[in-house]
Structure 1
Amino acid sequence: MILFMFIIAFFLWRSLKLMPKTKPQQIKPETKSTISWDEIAGVDEAKDELREVVDFLKNPKEFAKLGARVPKGVLLHGPPGTGKTLLAKAVAHESGAQFFSQSAASFVEMFAGLGAARIRRLFAEARKNAPAIIFIDELDAVGGHRGSDFSAEREQTLNQLLVEMDGFDTSGELVVMAASNLLEKLDTALLRPGRFDRQVFVSPPDVVGRQRILEVHTRDKPVGEVDLAKVAARTSGLTGADLANLANEAAIRCGRRGGSALSNEDFDQALERVIAGVESRRILNAHEKEVVAYHEAGHALCAELLPCVDRVHKISIVPRGRALGFTMNLPDEDRYLKTREELIDHMTVLLGGRIAELLVFGEVTTGASDDLKRVSQVARAMVHDYAMGSPAASQSAVFDGGAASSEQFRRVLDEEQQALAYEAQRAAQELISGQRGKLEELARALLEQEVLEREDIDKIMQGVPRMERKAGVVGLRMVAAASVGKDDGEARAARPSTKPPHVPGT
């Protein structure tokens, strides 16, 4: 019996020894790891908001004289990679405050109560070193909505965090900052006044912001005759972290080729790597290579003809990452709103590859799986979020908060999504059938060269205008000129199926 108790005690002791002992990381302002405002670009609105926090930490008494209450908490939220952690470190550096950083995921452990104890220890150490900033990264790990699936350990940790934030005074010597990618999933108790008073959205940079970020990340790199404004224009949607990676990949490529300065070609190749992945060494057989060529030609042809789609910058059938080929569209400018026609055109381009396969080979392959998933996402958002299906069904979905109240209603919404996908499929069929000759030219050029740049595409599409929409009518018409190679295409092609595409998840 004594031996049995000893064995149990030994294993308990061993389990406790193996548990990770994470302490709050303290970063002193004078260390080399600090970040200044000059090292952060592309998030000017967020920096302006946080400069006020710096003023609070530097001169709390001045604000107290005016009766101003110093914010207890600042929540930075936005997509991953936009610079939330860097902004928090910059606030600590600029204010001279001590910086205590902890990931919220490290608070949650196997045994109940440990997370709450770590919260208490974190705040106690910060108070000893005031003025200080506590930064909690990935707050949603412990700050999510409390419900049936919320563990007791997480709830205790969250409750302790709320108690600590309510417990310290507003003298301005201690500020809690946190970052989250999912603001909508945070518990409402965290967001009320008196806790996280300031909520700062850190958005992906616009074209001017992207240029400034590239300038920051190329300061220590020899850059040749590269127009960073043009590079920024081609990187719509990339975050600050993506752009830092882009500049680094360009420098690596320059070093590998033995160059002395970064060139436009280095940035072009780096952009392909960031967007499409690493070039693969897999070798396709002749038939698969032909299928991929027609698939990508179908995407590109639809994009070149439709009025609401960005022009094609490059087409490639060189495998990269998990993709066997890609068609890169680059916008002329940043846009933040989309119409129904733009979303239909986007789905049409996505289905263009599948339709081209069906038109040429009489069957489809698994190569369109990702395209179909994206069509499903767009169609669902159009019905549930944007009310762009039929007026009755879409408005019902919006007023119902996007939640289907009955099986019959869910079926109606599914049919709406299928109808939108079918509308895009019909448009893709008409476009590719009407311009079969251009599809053949694009595919043949891809098989010969493997990569087509913008100037190559211009030569092939010369004389073929873009289409425009009739006012008030869902449909397309040509501005001028008849279709090229239509008779030849119709004679050689199998008739595309009129059955709507199966959209996953509908």
Structure 2
Amino acid sequence: MNDNNDKKRPLTYYYMLMLVLILVFNSVIMPMFFNPKMKEVSYNNFLQMVDEGKVSKVEITDKRLAAVDKNNEKEIYVTGRVEDPELANRLMKSKVEFTQVVPKEQSPLVTFFTNWVLPILIFFGLGQLFMYFMGKRMGGNAMSFGKSNAKVYVEAQTGKSFADVAGQDEAKEALMELVDFLHNPGKYKDIGANMPKGALLVGPPGTGKTLLARAVAGEAKVPFFSISGSEFVEMFVGMGAARVRDLFKQAQEKAPCIVFIDEIDAIGKRRDNGQFGGNDEREQTLNQLLSEMDGFDGSKGVVILAATNRPESLDKALLRPGRFDRRIPVELPDLKGREAILKVHARNVHMADNIDYGTLARATAGASGAELANIINEGALRAVKMHRNVVEQEDLEESIETVIAGYQRKGAVISPAEKKVIAYHEIGHALVAAMQKHSAPVHKITIIPRTNGALGYTMQISENDSVLMTKEELFNKIVTMTGGRSAEEVVFGSITSGASNDIEQATKLARSMVTRLGMTEEFDMMATEVVANRYLGGDAALQCSETTAGKIDAKVLALIKEAHAKARTILQDNRDKLDVLAQYLLEKETITGEQFMALLQQEQAKEAAGENKPEV
């Protein structure tokens, strides 16, 4: 009852205000615009003005006399009518034009319409126009204060099924239980099991959380409510809570169904974050959501799905059993998953028969499903650009490089001397990687500049996705990163600014080894750094004293110096190979990993024929 009164109250205030405005308009504003300016005078003054010839025209009505000033026709003098038999003679004597107005009988209905109905219609129209523009600014209808903005898809209208989702086998398996419950709730009730009220999909952006939710609805063939968490919070206080109530009311009416709240962290942030004042509207919305999830009966078949990439920021009360009972991770796909995702997105694209999806999957380590879909689309766009009817392997490989490093800068002007430095820099990376154990094979080397600022790059692709990395493997990665700068030092005796990204990546990896991975004797297994928002690539924050922070910096520097020295030694010991490979890259500008290894092995064979040199 109170909710209904609260909803009616704003409308009542609105109409009361409109009625007051109409009264003011009718009694004050309309006379100001529609009545001429008149000045009241006494009857004696009126007669005096007539006698003095100051009046040009007089209009006589039943109750008053109106005289027009002879010098200023816009000035009208009004006085009350007096029964004066001599008035007509005096007017004629002064040669004043006068008329007797015959009263007209006006319909009461017309009077009522012009005085009341018309102003009401005008104000009602203006009010509707105002609410329309307010609604557009707010993303909905401003008068429907408590109505949910959820998009409702009826049975099987989401257009998605589990066949459209690849690379997330564990998440699909967990969600299949929800589908089975919506299809066959009886067998769960018979054994006394309660189906989870809600499931929280957690993972990095682009991994398919929304796609999974729509696939669940498509498989279950039940209505699907989709809404973003940000749509609950608007400019009017209390609207978010009202929308939560309305959403759950609609869901109960259409049960069994699925309610999906995307980016739930917009309203579900924890309430003990210590912010001064807080956000009362967001907190009120969260409290209402918690109340509704406690209040509805899960056995009716209403399943709540939510997605977020910031699970650490959610309120603990939202995650407790009885609300979101399950937390389903939707992580970045592994090698097998990436290959499956590429094949799913390639179904609607005309692909060549010799596409090697395995190679593409190995080249896209760490890519999300959305990025893989973009790679397929970029490859199709390149095929059209090259006037081909099908997408070739080279189109997809170029699209991978486009996503990683940007488009080729074919018009970039680079001097021969700078191009030589770039060639030695990139071969330095590749040669150091090839001469070490536990390093990923070189896939491609190029000195063609890219739009992201890279003047060249060396691409390494692992044969398999590594779940764990040893200390030696991580250290060798740092050695490879320092190979470019080391080549500049060995060959030219000077350094350039081209190693800025290598320095940044090497420092980041060395710091992780010291602060988070426990790979130094000095700090053993002590964690001195934490990463916030790991799904969003959040920055790391130190959790140690200033003295310890100084020791960490010293250890990071020592690791990088050790790696730099090792890379320099490798290149000095293989200077002849470095020169031959760099010259070959200068001629070709782009070489494959196979070409690089073939030439390297050829040089090693020549060297072995002369003298055996131990591997570093």
Identify which of 144, 166, 171 aligns with 2:269: 144
Quick one: which of 311, 316, 323 aligns to 1:195? 323
Is 1:419 aligned to 2:545, yes or no? no
1:136 Cα deviation (Å)?
Answer: 1.6
Partner letter of residue 168 of structure 2?
V
Query: What CA deviation, in whole Å up to 9, does each residue of 1:17-72 have, x standing for no partner?
Result: 622328211222343x4201111112111111110010112222331221111111
Q: Which residue is equivalent to 1:380?
A: 511
Q: Is residue 240 from structure 1 mapped to residue 369 from structure 2 by the alignment?
A: yes
Contact 1:296 1:317 in 2 (8 A): yes
TM-score by length of 1: 0.83
* Cα-to-partner distance string for 1:281-326 (whole Å, 9 max, x where unaligned): 4413214333322222222122111212101100111122312222
Which residue is 2:184 aligned to? 59
The answer to whether structure 1 residue 49 and structure 2 residue 178 are counterparts is no
SS at match of 1:26: strand
Q: 1:497 maps to which residue?
A: none
Give the counterpart letter for 2:295 in structure 1: G
Q: Aligned AA for 2:495?
A: V
Amino acid at match of 2:527: A
Q: Distance in 2 between matches of 1:110 and 1:284?
A: 53
Paired residue for 1:303, among 421, 427, 433?
Answer: 433
CA contact (8 A) 1:313 1:328 kept: yes
2:297 to 169, 173, 179: 169
Q: Residue 269 of structure 1: CA displacement? A: 1.8
Q: Structure 2 matches for 1:71-470, cutoff 5 A?
A: 71-110=196-235, 112-146=237-271, 147-149=273-275, 151-223=279-351, 224-286=353-415, 287-322=417-452, 323-390=454-521, 392-397=522-527, 404-462=543-601
The Cα offsets for residues 116-145 of structure 1, whole Å up to 9 and x where unpaired, read as 333333323222322221112222333334
- Equivalent pair of 1:144/1:186 in contact (CA under 8 Å): yes
Bigger shift: residues 335-344 or 157-166: 157-166
**3-state SS of the aligned residue for 1:68?**
coil
Higher Rg of the two aligned structures: 2
The answer to whether the 8 A contact 1:397-1:403 is kept is no
Query: Is the Cα contact below 8 Å between 2:205 and 2:309 reproduced in 1?
Result: yes
Displacement of 1:110: 4.7
Q: Quick check: 65-74 or 271-280, which moved more? A: 271-280
Structure 1 residues 219 and 288, CA gap change in structure 2 (3 angstroms): same
How far apart are residue 394 of structure 1 and its match?
3.5
**SS in structure 2 of the partner of residue 462 of structure 1:** helix
- Give the drift of 1:338: 0.5
Q: Does the 8 Å CA contact 2:195/2:298 hold for their aligned counterparts?
A: yes
Aligned length: 463
Where in structure 1 are there 5+ consecutive unaligned residues?
A: 466-479, 487-506
User: Do 1:82 and 1:203's aligned partners in 2 also have CA atoms closer than 8 Å?
Assistant: yes
Per mean C-alpha deviation after superposition, the further-off stretch among 14-23 and 71-80 is 14-23
Aligned-pair CA distance for 1:108: 3.6
* Residue from 44, 49, 70 that aligns with 2:195: 70
Q: Is the 8 A contact 2:258 2:302 kept in 1?
A: yes
Cα distance change of structure 1 residues 313 and 400 upon mapping to structure 2, 3 Å threshold:
closer
1 CA distance for matches of 2:236 and 2:574?
66
Q: Secondary structure at the match of 1:397?
A: coil
Query: Which among 132, 135, 139 is matched to residue 20 of structure 1?
Result: 139
SS of 1:394's equivalent in the other structure is: coil
Deviations 1:61-96 (A, max 9, x none): 331221111111111112222211111001001111
Higher relative contact order (Cα pairs below 8 Å, separated by 6+ residues)? 1
Please report how far the alpha carbon of residue 440 of structure 1 lies from its aligned counterpart in structure 2 after TM superposition: 2.4
Q: Are the aligned partners of 1:218 and 1:247 in contact in 2 as well (CA < 8 Å)?
A: yes
Change (3 A) 1:50 1:294: same
Q: Name the SS of the counterpart of 2:149 in structure 1.
A: coil
State the distance in 2 between where 1:385 and 1:426 align: 24
Q: Distance in 1 between matches of 2:314 and 2:612?
A: 56
In 1, the alpha carbon distance for the partners of 2:265 and 2:511 equals: 26
Per-residue deviation, 1:112: 4.3
Q: Is the 8 A contact 1:387 1:398 kept in 2?
A: no
Distance 1:254 1:385 in 2: 44
Same amino acid, percent of matched pairs = 44
Relative to structure 1, is the Cα distance of residues 353 and 209 closer, same or farther in structure 2, using a 3 angstrom cutoff? Answer: same
Shift of 1:172: 4.3
- 8 Å Cα contact 1:24/1:102 also seen in 2: yes
Question: 1:238, 1:58 → 2: CA distance?
Answer: 35
Query: Does the 8 Å CA contact 1:393/1:412 hold for their aligned counterparts?
Result: no
Alpha-carbon distance in structure 1 between the residues aligned to 2:421 and 2:507: 23
AA aligned opposite 1:276: A
- CA separation of 1:446/1:225 partners in 2, compared to 1, >3 Å: closer, same or farther? same
Deviation, structure 1 residue 399: 11
SS in 1 for 2:478: helix
- TM-aligned CA deviation for residue 268 of structure 1: 1.9
* Contact 2:427–2:581 (8 Å) recurs in 1: yes
Q: Which amino acid aligns with 1:38?
A: A
Distance 1:183 1:437, change over 3 A: farther
CA contact (8 A) 2:156 2:219 kept: no
Q: Distance in 1 between matches of 2:571 and 2:232?
A: 56
Q: Are residues 141 and 279 of structure 1, via their aligned partners in 2, closer, same or farther at CA, if it must alter by over 3 Å?
A: farther
Question: Do the aligned residues in 1 keep the contact of 2:182 with 2:301 (CA within 8 Å)?
Answer: yes
Q: What per-residue deviation string (whole Å, max 9, x for no partner) do you get for residues 253-304 of structure 1?
A: 2222222333222222222222222222441321433332222222212211
In structure 2, distance between residues paired with 1:368 and 1:143:
43
Partner SS for 2:383: helix
Q: Which of 160, 166, 169 matches 1:35?
A: 160
Indicate the SS of the match to 1:171. Answer: helix
| More deviation, 127-136/456-465 | 456-465
Q: Runs of 5+ in structure 2 lacking a partner?
A: 1-19, 26-126, 141-147, 532-540, 605-610
